[in-house]
A and B are shown apart, each in its own frame.
Chain A
């Protein structure tokens, strides 16, 4: 007798929620929104039941608990099973209410005071602080600790909100598109929600017409139009025209959402995926069927060279490619193929605006501009395309550094710590300055990957795509609204290590916190030392800005945004 086996998705080896029982799944199959799904459309390998069992979990929230916070990066969506929730409409709740860290620059006196208030033992914490301020409801079940609002009636009084009840789906756009959550949602009454992780959500969208229609329609309505209106090529459009572009735009995702996890694993084995393994989005030589816009993540731009492919640059959120080629063929040039291959670096969400739409809404506008005296040849509106063309002429040697930065995914960094080893005297003044501004313990290691005389040290790079933020149960790690740096609120960090495990660059360190005498503070429940996640916070509260760069006597250390860096023989310019 032969037994046929079909491999089920590997991720199911680690179900999203470990507590899901047969009865739970049975019950979920009876929920109207799930009942409406045509289960027989799913391949048997990825059955609907399997998705519910492995990619979803039932979450309980008490009245006042925050479910998602504005600005969070989440990898899951929620379906309300019962209870009532509220969406806080603009302008939203203040950061502290959401468990964020309050950033206040020190004044001169407070800065000086650090000289004597700094405790001799590192990582000292006054634990009383944790008691009253944080509004944290801790739970032993992973992922179930929540930050709660202490005064719900006051929040309802002073903010505009909308009600969400049984059957409502939310959070799906951020989960699929890897974009920040756009609003805060909290439980008004005790509630039960079905949380579905992104993989499951992607399958639901793929195999069920109803869910796809719902998700896509909401995407076009809520996110796409506003996004397109904010880009430089469509900023001249509004109203119906913009809606038409939005309606015609296709959206696709490439790569894996969890690229950081496989990246980290492969890195240990020195086998980071190369350009050949990346999913292709545009292929060199092919005829472009539309303009490609990156909405989230990164795409590699490469050209064929000899036996391999040379990376010439990359595209980040808001950048696009292809208008030049389409424009030229629109103007009658024959055989205008794409000059580059574009492939997904990790995870990328792209929009494809079809040629017809571009011709109608963009080229027509350019033509009218030209008649009005602007030089179209400049393609002023295609922000990076001009740059891409500049890169064609670079030699392999000139491009090697950029290629390295792309390969190592350092291009994700907006504040990477770049050290010029030809200037660095290894004095560690930078490390000491960091320690004396951060609880006596440096928040980075002056060591890291090197290329020629450049080292990217192990310091948080404040990434454009901060994967460390995915899945933080309390929102303790977040992007500051002012300044955009990624910071951790020590008060609401529960030491679960999710962020430290997610950071592909290993730039988060878990530390045991100490009392005044330098003794570890223990958790009263399990008598283990309490740990907190720490990393570079870019000296958000220091007047000097990043203390490391300020303290380097040799100007060897700089914080750089890899997007703006232009590599030259002697140095790094364009910061």
Chain B
């Protein structure tokens, strides 16, 4: 997170320079909006170029991590310039209000995304297991099958259905699909507590042989919990861009139209 403050500080520095420039222009009775607007447009252009750069990995256009740095600093700079350019937090006029919503939406999603990118990787590493996102559904299905087979086997071998009943009442719900997603996203521990509780609550009702099966199921549940955690966080890491990028595209389109209109108005 220290880095994020670094991006903000760098953006502020550039902002102060541009702001000083507009003040100077202002005092010489020109239109300072042209300076702030021009700078804002340029910065938005740079922001959107990130996407173009990602599509051209084979061109020697600076390594991607430099673009990332540029994008993060420019993102904050764009926000400051937007305030300078509009002069208020919430501008007047329907068109620019729509533009403002989209812009704030892009920036907010960007900032949230950035924060996730700085916090989540370490949380994922701490789980102590790595999974390929696309394979998660298959991994979960495998685990579920194993768990269900154990339950069946337990009933067959021990002749008691205590474990099976508990499985179908509660544990089965957990094994069905990713659970505790929201809680995971906020870094919560609910899943862990739940798994532990469900495993321990049953123990005193089982005999030695059944307990063996329960232990194996609990190990599976623990693995499943970890995969769920990966699923939740990796989904967020992937899906936030589906908000950020379309909003960014809309901003770009509206900005261009805004500029055309201003040009026509002034000529």
Contacts and interface: CB of A to CB of B under 8 A. Distances in A.
A433 B65 CA distance: 14
A457 to B, nearest CB: 10
B109 to A, nearest CB: 15
Nearest to B71: A553
A305 interface: no
A552 B55 CA distance: 13
Interface stretch (A42-50, A150-158, A445-453, A492-500): A445-453
B101 interface: no
Contacts of B55: 115
A27 interface: no
A111 B125 contact: no
Nearest to A433: B57
A555 B133 CA distance: 21
Nearest to A112: B59
B57 A436 contact: yes
A550 B125 contact: no
Contacts, number: 81
A74 to B, nearest CB: 35
Contacts of B64: 429, 550-553
Contacts of A455: 130
A421 B130 contact: yes
Contacts of A549: 63
A554 interface: yes
Interface in B139-190: none
Nearest to B230: A426
Say whether chain B's binding surface is mostly helix, strand, loop, or mixed: helix
B28 interface: no
A542 B67 CA distance: 20
Interface string B56-70: 111110011101100
A542 B54 CA distance: 16
A423 B59 CA distance: 24
Contacts of B65: 552-555
Contact of A421 (B57, B60, B125): B125
Contact of A108 (B59, B63, B117): B59
Contact of A427 (B59, B130, B238): B238
Interface in A25-84: none
Interface residues of A, number: 37
A425 B59 contact: no
Interface in A508-563: 542-544, 547, 549-556
A166 B144 CA distance: 67
B122 interface: yes
- Among B55, B60, B122, max chain A CB count under 10 A is at B60
Interface string A92-122: 0000000000000010100110110000000
Nearest to B233: A426
A177 to B, nearest CB: 38
B125 A547 contact: no
B50 to A, nearest CB: 9
Given A426-B237, A446-B132, A543 B120 contact: no
A217 B55 CA distance: 59
Interface residues of B, number: 24
A544 B60 contact: yes
Q: Name the residue in A106, A115, A437, A550 with the highest tally of chain B Cβ atoms < 10 Å from its Cβ.
A: A550
B20 interface: no
B223 to A, nearest CB: 15
Contacts of B56: 112, 115
A550 B57 contact: yes
Given A446-B132, A551-B64, A422 B125 contact: yes
B123 to A, nearest CB: 10
B46 to A, nearest CB: 15
A114 B59 CA distance: 10
Contacts of A400: none
B234 interface: yes
B68 A554 contact: yes
A114 B234 CA distance: 30
A432 interface: yes
Contacts of A445: 132
Given A551-B64, A554-B65, A555-B65, A453 B125 contact: yes
B182 to A, nearest CB: 20
A550 B63 contact: yes
B121 A429 contact: no
A424 B121 CA distance: 6
A423 B117 CA distance: 8
A114 B117 CA distance: 31
A111 B59 contact: yes
Nearest to B132: A447
B120 A425 contact: yes
A558 to B, nearest CB: 11
B58 A547 contact: yes
Contacts of A106: 58
B59 A450 contact: no
A557 to B, nearest CB: 10
A112 B52 CA distance: 13
B151 to A, nearest CB: 27
Interface in B91-133: 117, 120-122, 124-125, 130, 132-133
Contacts of A111: 58-60
Contacts of B121: 421-426, 556
Contacts of A422: 121-122, 125
Interface of B: 54-60, 63-65, 67-68, 117, 120-122, 124-125, 130, 132-133, 234, 237-238
18 contacts: A108-B60, A111-B59, A112-B58, A421-B124, A421-B130, A423-B121, A426-B237, A427-B238, A437-B57, A447-B132, A453-B125, A543-B59, A543-B60, A544-B57, A551-B54, A552-B64, A553-B64, A553-B67
Given A108-B59, A111-B59, 16 more contacts: A421-B124, A421-B125, A422-B121, A422-B125, A423-B121, A425-B117, A427-B238, A437-B58, A445-B132, A447-B130, A450-B130, A543-B58, A543-B60, A544-B60, A553-B64, A555-B65
Closest 7 CB pairs of A and B: A433-B57, A553-B68, A555-B65, A421-B125, A553-B64, A551-B57, A425-B117
